[in-house]
């Protein structure tokens, strides 16, 4: 039997002395980072895309996950790359960006790239009922969230691999993780590039402004994509994001 779903596998593309760690988002899969990973591998970098705990298996697994498990997976990827590369750049999408920031608080990556990372869960009910979520999840393990699509590239949207439901307990973990991230921003010193899309319906622009302002890094920049929505590494603005990423990596590792 196989536990990880098809296309949900993590990836490793050996290359040069600069390592890129790619971290996908909440309810997503390594697949959402794969195009970017392939692009960076073609640029000569060593690339590793991790699978976060309870992702790309079955949604019920998410109720057993804690945000510390996800951070431990990000650390795993970092340690694996450290064995091959003299410098490691950490790249995260959405919640993966929050993990990127927490990783940079503990370790010293050459740089970080944070894409479409929120500072709070968009649904503010989660904030109010956070203490009850573990209990609620016992009777209502998963919920289906209605929500409009912000994809510009509809073909890419069809290929998107993610859970179609939210595990209730895991919403509490995401909430806690984002809180930990907000409190840690000042302690992050690595050179940082933030990439956000103007058409992102999930993450409001003030998240980008908040992170940019609070980050302890002296070298920090933001790129606003005109094209595409929240899924920056997959949607219509991806080529621009990939090129900006490669340019950023070359500059900070030179």
Partner 1 sequence: MSQILSGGEPFLYRGESGVGVLLVHGWTSSPQEMRDLGKHLAGQGHTVLGLRLPGHGTRPADLNRLLWRDWLAAVEDGYHFLENASEKVVAMGLSLGGALALLLAASLPVAGVVAMATPYELPTQPRLRWLRHLLFPMRPLGNLLRFMPKPTVNDYKDPQAYEDHLSYDVFPVQSVPEVGGLLELLRQQLPGMRAPLLLLHAVEDRGVSPDHARSIYARVGSTEKELVWIEDSGHVITVEPSRRRVYDLAAEFVDRELERAP
Binding site for partner 1 (CB under 8 A): 1-4, 9-14, 48, 50-51, 53-54, 57, 61, 64, 66, 68-69, 71-72, 75-76, 79-81, 83-84, 106-107
By C-beta, is 8 or 191 nearer to partner 1? 8
Determine how β-strand 192-197 pairs with β-strand 111-115. Answer: parallel
CA distance 154 to 148: 13
Joined tokens for residue 86: 């003299």
By C-beta, is 62 or 171 nearer to partner 1? 62
Joined tokens for residue 221: 């920049």
Query: Smallest distance, Å, CB 167 to partner 1?
Result: 13
Query: Smallest distance, Å, CB 199 to partner 1?
Result: 32
Joined tokens for residue 245: 């990423």
Query: Smallest distance, Å, CB 187 to partner 1?
Result: 12
The CA radius of gyration of the chain, in Å to the nearest whole number, is: 17
CA distance 157 to 152: 8
Burial class (CB in 10 A: 0-12, 13-18, 19+), 111: buried
By C-beta, is 46 or 203 nearer to partner 1? 46
Query: Smallest distance, Å, CB 150 to partner 1?
Result: 30
By C-beta, is 64 or 198 nearer to partner 1? 64
């Amino acid at each position: 039997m196989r536990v990880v779903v098809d296309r949900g596998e993590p990836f490793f593309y050996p290359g040069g002395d600069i390592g890129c760690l790619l971290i996908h988002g909440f309810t997503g899969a390594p697949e959402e980072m794969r195009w970017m990973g392939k692009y960076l591998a073609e640029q000569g970098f060593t690339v590793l895309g991790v699978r976060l705990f309870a992702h790309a298996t079955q949604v019920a697994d998410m109720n057993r996950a804690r945000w510390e498990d996800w951070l431990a997976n990000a650390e795993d990827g970092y340690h694996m790359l450290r064995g091959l590369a003299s410098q490691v750049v950490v790249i995260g999408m959405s919640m993966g960006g929050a993990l990127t920031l927490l990783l940079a608080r503990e370790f010293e990556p050459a740089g970080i790239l944070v894409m479409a990372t929120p500072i709070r869960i968009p649904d503010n009910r989660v904030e109010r009922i956070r203490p009850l979520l573990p209990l609620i999840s016992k009777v209502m393990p998963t919920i289906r969230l209605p929500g409009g699509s912000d994809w510009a590239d509809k073909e890419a949207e069809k290929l998107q691999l993610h859970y179609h439901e939210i595990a209730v307990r895991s919403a509490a973990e995401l909430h806690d993780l984002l809180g930990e991230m907000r409190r840690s921003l000042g302690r992050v010193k690595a050179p940082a590039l933030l990439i956000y899309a103007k058409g992102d319906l999930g993450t409001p622009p003030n998240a980008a402004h908040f992170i940019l302002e609070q980050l302890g890094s002296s070298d920090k920049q933001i790129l606003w994509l005109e094209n595409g929505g929240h899924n920056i590494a997959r949607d219509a603005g991806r080529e621009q994001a990939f090129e900006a990423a490669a340019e950023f990596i070359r500059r900070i590792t030179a």
